[in-house]
Structure 1
Amino acid sequence: MKELPEWYYDEFIQIGTDYASEEEVRNYDRKMRTIRDIADEAETMRKLIDLQPEDNVLEIGCGTGEFSIELSRYCKKVLALDISQGMLEFAMKKAGERNRDNIGFENAGFLTFEPNGKEFDAVVTQLVLHHLPDFWKLIALRNVNSMLKDGGKFYLKDVVFSSGIQDFDSYFSQIFKNMPPEAGDEIVNEMTLHIKDEFSTFDWVMEGLIEKAGFIIEKSYYQDGFMATYLCTKI
């Protein structure tokens, strides 16, 4: 793991639920399977980055490992990072149970991962970049760019708010009203903490940060005014 100056942002700061116990991680894994079609999302990701059998892929913020496991079926090697040691241990156990031996795991993130000269064909990350303030988002995106081969693909999915929304009080109230019952109180509480304490930014800011970091945005998708997906290429 990279040693950083004292003034660097501490990306290991835990905001929201602290996934220190296996029970908490297992509950998170179960809930994600309930409210998301992870297999379909992984297939969409695979097609967008045009994953090839000889490719090496880096996933930043692997969580419980579901996407890394799916991607490992279609490429040479996946290196999966997460700042939560509990998440990593759960992901490693899951990968072992599914006999996926081409996945490596490391306790690191956007700012602390040390590639040691290794370059990747693709970097993917979902619902992680919002943990960093905008200044550090740019540093993180530049780090991602430096880890990619020329022409390498970067897949980013995160909470990004639409700058076209005029009344955010009404907007967020409606989001909470539309939460599916299966989400439960915990997901609602996590969404509340996300809006209050985390660092999701606006669409025009995110697009500018991506481009300033040295990427071309090949495709962008915006959903429900708060979810964005970007397929980017290193230039």
Structure 2
Amino acid sequence: MALLPAWYFDESKMAGVDFKSIDQVEAFDQKQLSSTPEKEQALVARLGIGSGHTVVDLGAGTGAFAIRAALSGAAVVHAVDISQAMLTYAENKAQQAGVEQIQFHRAGFLTYDHEGNLADFVISKYALHILPDFWKMVAFLQIASILKPGGVFYLRDVIFSFPPSQYEAGINAWIERAAKPEGWTASDYELHVREEHSTFAWIIEGMLTRAGFEVAEANYLSPTAAEYRCIKSGI
């Protein structure tokens, strides 16, 4: 990628807090109760990923989705993450699963330089919130540029659908409901709200439309989580 201007957002700074070592990544992986091989396979099937497809997994983390997409017959899966520890862990998992068609890239939403065939699918799960809203819009434009016309962008993240005027009650209810002593704690959720950049559904949806996507499916999984299946406009 060309040299970036001095004002460009540095995604690499977002990788170091939790994921400097393989031990930290392994601990993270064990907390990911919402990500199992069965659940990732169900999403692969639901999206229609299969033989010959090119898939880009942005914020691939420990590789759970990328591995299932590869095992389902995708021609190539690009697993992209800003954390080298995450990528190393994911690559080890892929080798253990006997998967060879995953290419691993140390990059972020803003710096991934896609080469080869345009993607049939771009996936982002619980990673986009590292970006402030201005840079989310830039990321959506980047994603649109690497997708084929008619290609699918699937997004799932911490996205707020409660009324803005009820933000305090909405956040407190989320933490009370979701925090677990053996998993993500109240302190983890407080840190997320305070230092990361989750935003409202109406903001995300406006950005997606402006980036050239049709929101084909929007599901508000809870007042603090949502998923979107989007189609890149054009012929």
With normalisation by structure 2, the TM-score equals 0.92
Residues 1:45 and 2:36 aligned together: no
Assess if the C-alpha contact under 8 Å between 1:162 and 1:202 holds in 2.
yes
In structure 1, list runs of 5 or more residues that go unmatched.
Answer: none
Q: What is the root-mean-square deviation in Å for CA atoms of aligned residues?
A: 1.8
**2:13 alignment partner in structure 1:** 13
**1:232 alignment partner in structure 2:** 230
**Distance 1:181-1:190 versus aligned 2 partners, 3 A rule:** closer
Aligned partners of 2:148 and 2:47: how far apart in 1?
13
**2:176 alignment partner in structure 1:** 177
Summarize the alignment of residues 32-181 of structure 1 with structure 2, pairs less than 5 Å apart.
32=32, 35-74=33-72, 75-116=74-115, 118-164=117-163, 166-179=165-178, 181=180
Aligned partners of 1:213 and 1:87: how far apart in 2?
29
**1:196 alignment partner in structure 2:** 194
Output the amino acid matched with 1:152: G
**Distance 1:8-1:225 versus aligned 2 partners, 3 A rule:** same
User: Offset at 1:31?
Assistant: 1.2
Assess if the C-alpha contact under 8 Å between 2:208 and 2:215 holds in 1.
yes
User: Offset at 1:223?
Assistant: 1.7
Assess if the C-alpha contact under 8 Å between 2:180 and 2:186 holds in 1.
no
SS at match of 2:142: helix
**2:206 alignment partner in structure 1:** 208
> Number of paired residues?
232
Assess if the C-alpha contact under 8 Å between 1:2 and 1:114 holds in 2.
no
Assess if the C-alpha contact under 8 Å between 2:162 and 2:224 holds in 1.
no
User: Offset at 1:73?
Assistant: 1.1
User: Offset at 1:96?
Assistant: 0.6
Aligned partners of 1:179 and 1:138: how far apart in 2?
28
SS at match of 2:154: strand
**Distance 1:114-1:37 versus aligned 2 partners, 3 A rule:** closer
Aligned partners of 2:116 and 2:65: how far apart in 1?
25
User: Offset at 1:4?
Assistant: 1.7
Assess if the C-alpha contact under 8 Å between 2:156 and 2:227 holds in 1.
yes
With normalisation by structure 1, the TM-score equals 0.92
**1:30 alignment partner in structure 2:** 30
User: Offset at 1:118?
Assistant: 3.6
User: Offset at 1:66?
Assistant: 0.8
User: Offset at 1:177?
Assistant: 2.1
| CA distances 1:108-163 after superposition (whole Å, capped 9, x unpaired) | 01111111364111100101111111111011000000001111111000111114
Aligned partners of 2:227 and 2:39: how far apart in 1?
11
**Distance 1:97-1:117 versus aligned 2 partners, 3 A rule:** closer
**Distance 1:99-1:182 versus aligned 2 partners, 3 A rule:** farther
Deviates further, 46-55 or 104-113: 46-55
Assess if the C-alpha contact under 8 Å between 2:176 and 2:186 holds in 1.
no
Output the amino acid matched with 1:213: A
User: Offset at 1:15?
Assistant: 6.7
Aligned partners of 1:201 and 1:183: how far apart in 2?
27
